[in-house]
């Protein structure tokens, strides 16, 4: 570890506070956060109560009316660019905190998470003055213009898999339009966000109350969802929690809700897959990198009968070659799962697959590493073959390093299997036939379809699921609709 990384770990040990109205507010209650790679305590973090949340919401409301909400678009853009630049300048320290709280490899934190976390502020800074209104062609004697306004105070609830990146996916577009926010990181992963707020605070990037951070578990998320003075909630997490968020909105003030939920992404490998080795390599990497804790990761590989054996053999070799280890080991490919509950959930699914008679091609056990990592939450990368689509491992989101192989005999069966899921976040297909690519992409019931390269992302392209994978979109122009409301103004001129 470098000195900077060690300093980040030292910083995390001190008792943390919520960031409310530009102040670090000593909490009334605390909980203990753990490092999942070693299963040892990191330090104490606030468990926010109603009174503290009320203060955060009131600070956000005040900044919306009297602070950030009144900034000119140019001032907002400058602040967003500065916010991204500060993240960029501290990327090593922040990456170390992500690894500490989440268990992923340091290389993944630094190279996968950090660049987008900083750069998306530049993208949304560009949108501050480009999200135009409209005029409607109404009857003579009237002008009808349609303006887009900020929603107000947004509650942002974040999961643990990309703790800083997914927080910024919401913070940047919300602030870009003049909203103010109350953010709750996952109880497992609060550190990278808290440290970022310290850095922004020291540089005076945002006026007090613009971004408030309240820490804690699902009970705090529920207080946010039910809060009568929060105008909107944007949530990323599990489908089960997403349903509770919708209920919370209905039971309180009907705040608008955006949901980015679970997935069970299939990838179809047709017999004419253009470069089969490249396709296998890509699917392998997207399925097993970040220890399989990615909502869009391919979890079901649907393979044409004629190439099933080849794919199965090559994928098995690849998975058996994965090295799990110390998140700072340059040779390691897989770090620790994010927390004990997630580790137990994954192991439960692996056991259920074995019991149900799926063919275990690789892995299948928990892993005990030597030395300080011996109690860490490590799972052998696992591969099941010939999996019946009715098994739990084929139907439910595992969110770990577990991939299943299934076969199909024709296009119709492939599409049926693809859509036979409650989820609709992402799907992929590989074929050399352009007509089939369009036909199948159109038939797939998912918010993102990747043809001949699984897993493409760009700030300009909308990200979000169909069915029980969510409501609304992140990224691109589409996310701006989620953080704005449309007002129709009529002017009579006769
Ligand atoms: P989770 O639903 O357990 O928790 C997510 C967040 O919600 C946490 O901050 C948690 O404290 C909070 N929360 C828990 N109960 C709550 C309640 N009753 N009311 C309000 N908030 C509550 O999810 P997780 O385990 O942290 O994350 C993994 C899940 O996130 C997976 O299902 C994954 O697919 C999903 N995910 C989806 C996307 C996407 O963009 N679609 C991206 C990343 C992760």
Is residue 494 a part of any domain in this protein? Answer: no
Nearest to 113 by CA among 316, 272, 327, 279: 327
| pLDDT exceeds 90 at position 2 | no
- For 343, other C-beta atoms within 10 Å of its C-beta total 21
Tell how far the Cα of 309 is from the centroid of ligand 1, in angstroms.
36
CA–CA separation, 220 vs 193, rounded Å? Answer: 17
What is the enclosing helix (H) or strand (E) of 145?
Answer: strand 142-150
Pocket-testing residue among 33, 159, 473, ligand 1, by greatest number of atoms within 8 A of Cβ: 159
For residues 25 and 52, the answer to whether their CB atoms sit within 8 Å is yes
Residue 409 lies in a domain: yes
* pLDDT 10s digits, 21-54: 999 999 999 999 999 999 999 999 999 999 999 9
Q: Ligand 1: distance of its center to the CA of 399 in Å?
A: 12
| Over residues 355-365, mean pLDDT | 97
| Residue 350 maps to a domain | yes
CATH number at residue 341: 3.40.309.10
The mean pLDDT value for 428-437 works out to 98
| Stretch (H or E) spanning 190 | none
Helices (H), 375-428: 392-395, 411-419
Same domain, 13 and 124: yes
Give the residue whose CA is nearest to atom 42 of ligand 1: 295
Q: How confident is the model at residue 193 (pLDDT cuts 50, 70, 90)?
A: very high
Q: Which residue, by CA, sits nearest to atom 30 of ligand 1? A: 237
- Give residue ranges with CB within 6 A of ligand 1: 157-161, 166, 184, 186-187, 217-218, 221-222, 225, 236-238, 241, 244-245, 260-263, 295, 397, 399, 425, 465, 470
Residue of 237, 251, 421, 463 best suited for mutating to test ligand 1, as the one with most atoms within 8 Å of CB:
237
Residue 311 DSSP class: H
Residues 82 and 113 in one domain: yes
Residue with CA at minimum distance from ligand 1 atom 19:
222
**143 and 177, same structural domain?**
yes
Determine whether 448 is exposed, middle or buried from the number of CB atoms within 10 Å of its CB (0-12, 13-18, 19+).
buried
Among the atoms of ligand 1, which is closest to the Cα of residue 470?
A: 41
Does residue 328 sit within a domain? yes
Shared domain check, 272 and 251: no
CA distance 438 to 441: 5
Please write the tens of the pLDDT for every residue from 381-429: 999 999 999 999 999 999 999 999 999 999 999 999 999 999 999 999 9
- CA 487 to ligand 1 centroid distance, Å: 32
Alpha-carbon distance of 55 to 49, in angstroms, equals 10
How would residue 1 be classed by pLDDT, with cut points 50, 70 and 90?
Answer: confident
> Is the residue at 440 inside a domain?
yes
Ligand 1 centroid distance, CA of 427 (Å)? 21
Confidence of residue 347 (pLDDT cuts 50, 70, 90): very high
Q: Which helix (H) or strand (E) holds 196?
A: helix 191-203
CA angle 228/233/236 to nearest 5° reads 145
Instruction: Give the C-alpha separation, 478 to 465, whole Å.
Output: 13
pLDDT at 342 over 90: yes
Distance 357 CA to ligand 1 centre (A): 30
Mean of pLDDT over the chain: 97
Over pLDDT 70: what percentage of the chain? 100
- How does pLDDT run across 82-127, given as a tens digit for each residue? 999 999 999 999 999 999 999 999 999 999 999 999 999 999 999 9
* pLDDT, average across residues 115-140: 97
Residue nearest to atom 20 of ligand 1 (CA): 221
- Is the pLDDT at 494 greater than 90? The verdict is no
Picking from 12, 352, 63, 344, the residue whose alpha carbon sits closest to that of residue 198 is 12
CA distance 149 to 114: 30
Residues whose CB falls within 8 Å of the CB of residue 36, separated by 6 or more in sequence, listed in order: 102, 103, 188, 336, 337, 338, 339, 340, 343, 376, 377
User: CA triplet 263, 110, 318: central angle to 5 degrees?
Assistant: 60
pLDDT beyond 90 at 200: yes
Distant-in-sequence, close-in-space partners of 84: CB < 8 Å, separation ≥ 6: 118, 119, 120, 121, 122, 125
Pocket probe for ligand 1: among 36, 219, 241, the residue whose CB has the most ligand atoms within 8 Å is: 241
Compute, in angstroms, the gap from residue 238 CA to the centroid of ligand 1.
4
Provide the 3-class DSSP secondary structure of residue 276: helix
Residue having the nearest C-alpha atom to atom 36 of ligand 1: 237
Within a domain: residue 464?
no
Residue 100 located in a structural domain? yes
Is beta strand 484-492 parallel, antiparallel or unpaired with respect to 142-150? antiparallel
Question: Are both 351 and 372 inside the same structural domain?
Answer: yes
pLDDT average, residue stretch 182-189: 98
What distance in Å separates the CA atoms of residue 285 and residue 329, rounded to the nearest whole number? 18
Q: What is the pLDDT of residue 67?
A: 98
pLDDT band (50, 70, 90) for residue 369: very high
Looking at the structure, do residues 390 and 407 belong to the same domain, yes or no?
yes
Residues 383 and 290 in one domain: yes
Does 320 share its domain with 282?
yes
Query: What's the rounded Cα separation, in Å, for the pair 104 and 291?
Result: 7
Spatial distance between the Cα atoms of 67 and 88, rounded to a whole number of angstroms: 26
Same domain, 19 and 164: yes
Q: Are residues 214 and 284 in the same domain?
A: no
Whether residues 381 and 447 fall in one domain: yes
Ligand 1 centroid to 159 CA: how many Å? 5
Residue among 216, 238, 292 whose CB has most ligand 1 atoms within 8 A, to mutate: 238
Range of the domain at 105: 3-261+469-489
Q: What is the tens place of the pLDDT at every residue in 278-310?
A: 999 999 999 999 999 999 999 999 999 999 999
Whether 90 and 182 map to the same domain: the answer is yes
61, pLDDT greater than 90: yes
Rounded average pLDDT over 434-444: 98
* Number of independent structural domains in the chain: 2
* 463, part of any domain: no
Strands 366-367 and 359-362: unpaired
CA distance 266 to 298: 6
Alpha carbon 415 to its chain centroid, in Å, reads: 27
Q: What is the CATH number of the domain that holds 107?
A: 3.40.605.10
> Would you name the residues annotated as active-site residues?
260
């Amino acid at each position: 570890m470098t000195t900077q990384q060690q300093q980040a770990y030292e910083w995390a040990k001190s008792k943390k506070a919520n960031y409310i109205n530009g102040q670090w507010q000593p909490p009334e209650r605390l909980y203990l956060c753990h490092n999942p790679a070693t299963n040892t305590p990191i330090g104490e973090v606030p468990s926010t109560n109603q009174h503290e949340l009320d203060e955060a919401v009131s600070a956000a409301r005040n900044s919306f009316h009297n602070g950030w909400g009144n900034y000119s678009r140019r001032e907002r853009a400058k602040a967003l660019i500065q916010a991204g630049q500060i993240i960029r300048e501290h990327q090593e320290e922040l990456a170390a905190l992500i690894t500490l709280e989440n268990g992923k490899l340091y290389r993944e934190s630094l190279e996968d998470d950090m660049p987008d976390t900083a750069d998306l502020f530049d993208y949304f800074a560009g949108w501050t003055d480009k999200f135009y209104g409209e005029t409607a062609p109404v009857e003579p004697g009237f002008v009808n213009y349609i303006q887009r306004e900020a929603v107000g105070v947004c509650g942002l609830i974040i999961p643990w898999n990309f703790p800083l990146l997914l927080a910024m996916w919401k913070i940047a577009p919300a602030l870009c339009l003049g909203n103010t926010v109350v953010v709750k990181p996952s109880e497992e992963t609060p550190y990278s966000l808290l440290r970022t707020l310290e850095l922004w605070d020291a540089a005076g990037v945002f006026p007090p109350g613009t971004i408030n951070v309240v820490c804690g578990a699902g009970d705090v998320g529920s207080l946010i969802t039910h809060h009568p003075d929060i105008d909107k909630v944007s949530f990323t997490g599990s489908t089960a929690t997403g349903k509770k968020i919708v209920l919370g909105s209905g039971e309180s003030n009907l705040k608008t809700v955006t949901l980015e939920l679970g997935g069970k992404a299939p990838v179809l490998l047709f017999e004419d897959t253009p470069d089969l080795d490249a396709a296998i390599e890509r699917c392998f990497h997207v399925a097993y990198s970040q220890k399989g804790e990615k909502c869009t990761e391919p979890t079901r590989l649907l393979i044409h009968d004629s190439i099933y054996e080849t794919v199965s053999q090559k994928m098995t070799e690849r998975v058996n070659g994965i090295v799990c280890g110390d998140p700072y080991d340059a040779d390691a490919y897989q770090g620790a799962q994010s927390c004990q509950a997630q580790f137990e959930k994954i192991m439960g699914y692996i056991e259920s697959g074995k019991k149900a008679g799926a063919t275990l091609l690789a892995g299948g056990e928990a892993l005990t590493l030597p030395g300080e990592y011996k109690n860490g939450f490590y799972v052998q990368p696992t591969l099941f073959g010939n999996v019946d689509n009715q098994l739990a491992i084929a139907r439910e989101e595992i969110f770990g390093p577990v991939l299943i192989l299934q076969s199909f005999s024709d296009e119709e069966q492939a599409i049926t299997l693809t859509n036979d899921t409650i989820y609709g976040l992402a799907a992929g297909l590989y074929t050399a036939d352009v007509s089939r690519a369009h036909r199948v992409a159109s038939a797939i019931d998912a918010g993102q379809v990747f043809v001949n390269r699984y897993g493409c992302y760009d700030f300009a392209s909308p990200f979000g699921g169909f069915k029980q994978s969510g409501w609304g979109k992140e990224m691109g122009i589409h996310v701006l609709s989620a953080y704005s409301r449309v007002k129709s103004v009529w002017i009579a001129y006769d």
